[in-house]
Chains A and B, each alone.
Chain A
């Protein structure tokens, strides 16, 4: 049975520290666009921490919600792409083939979560930052869309390693950069086809919910809703 990768985010644990955002940038060669472009909303964060405030000052409650590609099973971004740049892999990931993308940006419009990003310019890294690019991840040129891949390079590497060593993949052996770097351990990644995996177990929690689940996109990210009073 193929894997079906999914994630669980415990909103009780998330402190909104944004370590995941930084780790994601470093792992996936995501360019920083500079202050002026960022002010126009063109910053590219494959994962972002959304902050919502509830109540009236001084009784304010802050809610953090890390939002990344939900890797939908019925992804609205996929049927609209005219070139199959956005497509579904056998393991259920919403893959983006950068080389096939011609930049219609239709997928970004269709995505209800707004987690698809457009390269408005060719990316550039000031020396010596270009030396820290991750060799496992391709750099995207101007005019193409990009998005969270669940760190597919890590998934593939672990699968190849396990196959070479003729063993099953162990639960918890793969951690995308955001999961790995979360100090509060708010995120758990695993195979949803394995009912015993920690991700599967947590996803069945009564606290679990899908972001905009009523749209019928069937996301593979489950949020454990906040219960703590503060």
Chain B
């Protein structure tokens, strides 16, 4: 690879940061309006009262908790997948990792909002936090909601580090190419990166440690989210399968979200040369595998419930198989199993387009899955006298739509400020010219090259 081609590639990847079209402003403005509408909806819910939502006894959790589980699930796209790919040293991961890690951070931030949005008195949310106080009142450490707080907090801190660490050399590259205020800002963010052998060695060690540490954290997060349900004696919730079932579902929806985001970036930032059909093919295979695993869990869970023949559990099961929730249930099966298998199993159909269609379908299906775990069970608890159903209202729908806009908005802004494809990882041992110091290259690889 020549230096000239190398430079062209650098220019190519940094182009979105340097050139801004009217389309960018229009997109940001449009998304900001939707996010603002969501904020207005939340404020109105606080001012008027929680009763503006569609939630009514006996169904006390509905859209908000569905969104919570969904977004925390999506967050498994990044850190977990990129950590695993890093550890097994899959070479094709390089253009994919940062795309994925960004999803994790933003999806976690959005997901973590929902436990607050769904509170009756959200202004007192800090009572979930164990902070020193004169009355010596602690949160209840037996409550899965408190476990959630710690799990999500740890995962968010870990995945922010996991995203920021490998960004440092790239921020230094940008610093070296810019002037004025930008140079100062990127300079501060680059934390004095000079690309010395010692710095590269430290970065490498830190990334290894993070990649190993983040995997158990990611698995524990969605296990604990599933414990929110599994620890309550609600028919069909109180199940030992929920931990692994939720983790599998989270990785499943995470890969789907990653494919959708990659395809959107590929088209809007013209990254065709970097996000290649090969990457979609590999991720498509992974998605197919997770689809089959997910279906296996659903089958095992439902068959066990059916044979168990507990009257309360059968009431819930039948609601989803044949009752009022059956249309949603069968839509979920089509979205999560039929479409992915039909599009991803035959090699001929596993194109970028096929992967994207399957992924959109999986995102819809996994949202429905979370909804179908939560609502029918709460609507059919033990005493038939207190059975009920649920219909969302405008506030809930607005806030739900606003979170999807928020995700897109955050991603758009991020892609404007930092290259979504890691410059130094992509280049690997190849030489990055223009900057006087070997800013963006591991010293070890440099010596390898010389030999």
* CB <8 Å contact, B56 and A42: yes
Smallest CB separation, B137 vs chain A (Å):
8
Q: Which stretch of A81-89, A129-137, A169-177 is in the interface?
A: A81-89
Pick the residue among B48, B121, B384, B388 that contacts A41 (CB under 8 A): B388
Asked if A50 lies at the interface with its beta carbon under 8 angstroms from chain B, I say yes
* CB <8 Å contact, A119 and B120: yes
In whole angstroms, what is the CA distance A42 to B385 when docked?
Answer: 14
Asked if A185 lies at the interface with its beta carbon under 8 angstroms from chain B, I say no
Smallest CB separation, A64 vs chain B (Å):
11
In whole angstroms, what is the CA distance A119 to B137 when docked?
Answer: 24
Known: A102-B125, A120-B50. A108 touches B232 (CB 8 A): no
* CB <8 Å contact, B140 and A142: no
* CB <8 Å contact, B232 and A84: no
In whole angstroms, what is the CA distance A51 to B384 when docked?
Answer: 10
Number of chain A residues close to chain B: CB under 8 A:
43
Smallest CB separation, B89 vs chain A (Å):
41
Asked if B233 lies at the interface with its beta carbon under 8 angstroms from chain A, I say yes
Number of chain B residues close to chain A: CB under 8 A:
42
Asked if B231 lies at the interface with its beta carbon under 8 angstroms from chain A, I say yes
* CB <8 Å contact, B144 and A80: yes
Collect the chain B residues with CB atoms within 8 Å of residue A108's CB: 57-58, 60
Asked if A144 lies at the interface with its beta carbon under 8 angstroms from chain B, I say yes
* CB <8 Å contact, B383 and A50: yes
* CB <8 Å contact, B383 and A67: yes
Smallest CB separation, A57 vs chain B (Å):
19
Pick the residue among A50, A102, A109, A212 that contacts B128 (CB under 8 A): A102
- Which of chain B's residues 31-79 have a Cβ closer than 8 Å to chain A? 48-51, 55-58, 60-61
Asked if B282 lies at the interface with its beta carbon under 8 angstroms from chain A, I say no
* CB <8 Å contact, A103 and B57: no
| Chain A residue at minimal CB-CB distance from B54 | A40
Pick the residue among A50, A80, A120 that contacts B49 (CB under 8 A): A120
Pick the residue among A102, A110, A113, A117 that contacts B119 (CB under 8 A): A102
Asked if A17 lies at the interface with its beta carbon under 8 angstroms from chain B, I say no
* CB <8 Å contact, B50 and A106: no
Smallest CB separation, A96 vs chain B (Å):
13
In whole angstroms, what is the CA distance A212 to B139 when docked?
Answer: 30
* CB <8 Å contact, B120 and A113: no
* CB <8 Å contact, A79 and B60: no
Asked if B157 lies at the interface with its beta carbon under 8 angstroms from chain A, I say no
Collect the chain A residues with CB atoms within 8 Å of residue B383's CB: 50, 67, 112-114, 212
* CB <8 Å contact, B58 and A82: no
Pick the residue among B49, B58, B386 that contacts A122 (CB under 8 A): B49
Asked if A223 lies at the interface with its beta carbon under 8 angstroms from chain B, I say no
Asked if A192 lies at the interface with its beta carbon under 8 angstroms from chain B, I say no
Asked if B382 lies at the interface with its beta carbon under 8 angstroms from chain A, I say yes
Asked if B124 lies at the interface with its beta carbon under 8 angstroms from chain A, I say yes
The 3 closest A-B pairs by CB, nearest first: A103-B120, A143-B120, A120-B51
Known: A41-B388, A79-B142, A142-B50. 14 other contacts (CB 8 A): A41-B57, A42-B56, A52-B384, A80-B144, A82-B146, A103-B50, A103-B121, A104-B115, A105-B61, A108-B60, A109-B378, A112-B383, A114-B383, A118-B50
A-B contacts, 6 of them at CB < 8 A, read: A41-B388, A79-B143, A82-B145, A105-B120, A106-B228, A120-B51
